[in-house]
Amino acid sequence: MSTATPPASLRGAHTHHHLRGGHGRLGRRLLLHFVIALALVIGLGALGAIVAKPSEHLCKPYQPCGPARVVRPLVNETVWRSARFGYTLEYPANEAGIAQQGSAGLVLQSHLPDGNTGTILIHGFAGASPAQAIHDQLSTLTGVTQLATDTLPADQLLGGGVGYRAGAGQVFTGYLAAPQGVGNQVSLATQAATSGGVTISVTVAGVSSDAGPSSFLYQLGDQIVNSIRWPGRP
């Protein structure tokens, strides 16, 4: 595409030099203002970070801030089946192991990060109500004394149930039996439900410092409770 030749007044050397010099001075002023503004923003940002969080280091470039996320590796669940009642459950073998088992149920134990051991008891009953199954399961516990109902609101279960079947649930406290009196305080959360004439009760027990709604032990118990499949159901 052709363009018209500009008039001679616009092709003069003096005029051309004036336009180029004007743009140069304007560009230098803009660059200077930009550098000052950028330095001010960076300085205030760094100062704010230091004042707000004096105990933290600034993040390294292109690296995320804060503590590293802990990602649990994928694990294969181990399936256990009751020979008497036909229900099944799954548990992560890298986090819990079978301490005892029979045709109606089993006892799982988990080694907790602080060195203590948590216990999960699962048992099936025929013709028992959820409340009766909880009572019968707790009556077989050994090594725990002064068992009493836990009345603290923060410790209560949101709802009792097993294998996605609504039922009953309670929380208790007690003490480990010791040769010279009593040992550490323990907490127990137990729940039971009935389906097709079979009642399953699950009790999670551990030292009170390892128990509670947000504890690893209770979360492991919830995982196992939700994995239970009733007899005759997929």
Give the pLDDT score at 61. 41
**Is 31's pLDDT higher than 90?**
no
Mean pLDDT, residues 180-192 taken together: 89
Q: Which residue has the higher pLDDT, 178 or 123?
A: 123
Please tell me the distance from the alpha carbon of residue 234 to that of residue 46, in angstroms, as a whole number.
Answer: 59
Q: Where is pLDDT greater, at 210 or 68?
A: 210
| pLDDT tens digits along 206-222 | 999 988 888 999 999 99
Decide if pLDDT at 119 tops 60: yes
Q: Among 3.30.70.920, 2.60.120.1690, 3.40.50.920, 3.40.50.10490, what is the CATH number of 77-227?
A: 2.60.120.1690
Domain ranges of the chain: 1-69, 77-227
Indicate if the pLDDT at residue 4 is higher than 70: no
Residue 223 has a CB neighbour count (10 Å cut-off) of 17
pTM recorded for the entire structure = 0.66
User: Which residues, 6+ apart, have CB-to-CB distance to 99 below 8 Å?
Assistant: 107, 108, 109, 119
pLDDT of residue 79: 96
Dist CA 226 CA 187 (whole Å): 21
pLDDT grade for 129, boundaries at 50, 70 and 90: very high
3-state secondary structure of 79: strand
* Higher-scoring residue by pLDDT: 9, 139: 139
**Residues recorded for the chain:** 234
Averaged pLDDT of the chain: 75
Mean pLDDT in residue range 68-92:
78
Q: What is the pLDDT of residue 124?
A: 97
In angstroms, what is the C-alpha Rg of the chain? 35
